[in-house]
Amino acid sequence: MIVDSHSINTIRNNLEIMANNYDHVFWLDSCNQANPYGIGEYALLVGLGAKSELELTPIDFSWGAVQEFIQSTEWRFFGLSYELKSKTNQLESSNPSPFTWPLLSMVEPEIVVAIKRTGEIQLSGISLVTLTHPLSIEVPTDTSVTYDDIKSSMTKAEHQEKVLQIKKEIAAGNMYEMNLCMSHELDNFHCNNPFQLYQQLIHASPTPFSSYVKLKEKHVLCASPERYLSVQENTLFAQPIKGTSKRFQDENKDAASRLHLANSIKERAEHIMIVDLVRNDLSKLCVAGSVRVEELFGIYGYKHVNQMISTISGQLSDSFNFVDTLMATYPMGSMTGAPKYIVLKFIEALETSARGWYSGSIGYMEPNGNMDSNVVIRTLLYDGKQQSASYSVGGAITFDSDPEQEYEECLLKSKAIRLLLDANLR
């Protein structure tokens, strides 16, 4: 059924009110941003409640349990930790983490509301009459946060020294490129309304793969511009991001920044290595000769940054299998580097904190077998029970990387979250 814009606004407002009353929430919002290369049809996709749930830790993890859970022909939403690499690549992490979150969480919601860009709406577990009848309750507005301090896993000097170490490894032929990340932990963190804080985040920094996830006390506030994988009618798509430049209010400066990113030899070299890695990952799942680059070096502008994005596609050789897909492609190359398995070991050695859900993925599977998912970046993670929060940033290091510029890029990528925290600090 098709609904008009006024009805959609009422539905969104009602869903915001309802979301505050559920222990399980998946809110996937395109923020009216055009997805790169036009893939994906949903403007807003919301799952509330849990008819069934699967949470797997390193101790009780079972691919068989995952396979059994996804056999359902209903909507399924999922969140994946980066540390799932221990099961896809047999690489354990010994670095400390502020959270004890599962490697994988899956939910079959009680209510699903899917609004397409065309205005068509699909519903499960709720009627349109209920959704379009304005609720008398107002959306909570208090988004104040408190915390003691912010502790970075690396100082500026330590980050720059690690960049130099990576460059030495590249010069020695041990790798081609590595994504180096650092975390920022907020002790004794409390937020009155994480969901509304997320709404503020995406208002300030709208992105096509934004998402809010609530799993009881666990909250993920994500303003991601990056797609991990999408399956649309037996076609597999990946859209890695590599390459960032600053946005400017001045049109001439902004155009110059975009042009510099598009023509940067360093950024293009960094980008093409990941495109080749992703092409190789997809070839494990696709018909021989079907993997192709649909768009190379695309430049897309967001609120604070320009991003270089490519689109790779391939025709699946067999019916889509979620487990096989993760085994072939996870973690995503844009958050690791190349060659992937070697770089995963260096990441463990050089980074000083476990990534957890940062650089993981949030997504969904439809009843018709289609799937879509993001890369968890530009994200605040909050555990209400442990009273701790964190956000992480990173960037790809190549032989041509400048340590000072790499650190400044990390600051740029964390700008939206830092401004959000500053604006709501009480």
Supply the residues annotated as catalytic: 226, 242
Cα dihedral: 344, 349, 355, 359 (round 10): -30
- Is there a contact between 203 and 13 (Cβ–Cβ < 8 Å)? no
Nearest to 108 by CA among 38, 39, 48: 48
Contacts of residue 57, Cβ cutoff 8 Å, sequence gap at least 6:
102, 103
DSSP structural state of residue 174 = S
In DSSP terms, 395 is beta-bridged to 180
Using only C-alpha atoms, the chain has a radius of gyration, in whole angstroms, of 21
Number of H helices and number of E strands within the chain?
A: 12, 23
What is the b/e burial string over 379-397, where b = at least 16 CB atoms within 10 angstroms of the residue's CB?
A: bbbbbbeebbbbbbbbbbb
- 268's torsion region: left (phi>0), alpha (psi -120 to 50) or beta? alpha
- Give the burial class of 410: count Cβ atoms within 10 A of its Cβ; 0-12 exposed, 13-18 middle, 19 or more buried: buried
Backbone angles phi, psi at 162, to 5 degrees: -70, -35
Structure token digits, residue 269: 């070299």
In DSSP terms, 235 is beta-bridged to 232, 315
- Is there a contact between 394 and 182 (Cβ–Cβ < 8 Å)? yes
Cα 245 → chain centroid: 19
- Give the burial class of 175: count Cβ atoms within 10 A of its Cβ; 0-12 exposed, 13-18 middle, 19 or more buried: buried
**How far apart, in whole angstroms, are the C-alpha atoms of residue 122 and residue 112?**
8
Contacts of residue 365, Cβ cutoff 8 Å, sequence gap at least 6:
70, 75, 76, 77, 78, 322, 371
**To which H or E segment does residue 87 belong?**
helix 85-88
**How far apart, in whole angstroms, are the C-alpha atoms of residue 131 and residue 11?**
5
- Is there a contact between 306 and 247 (Cβ–Cβ < 8 Å)? yes
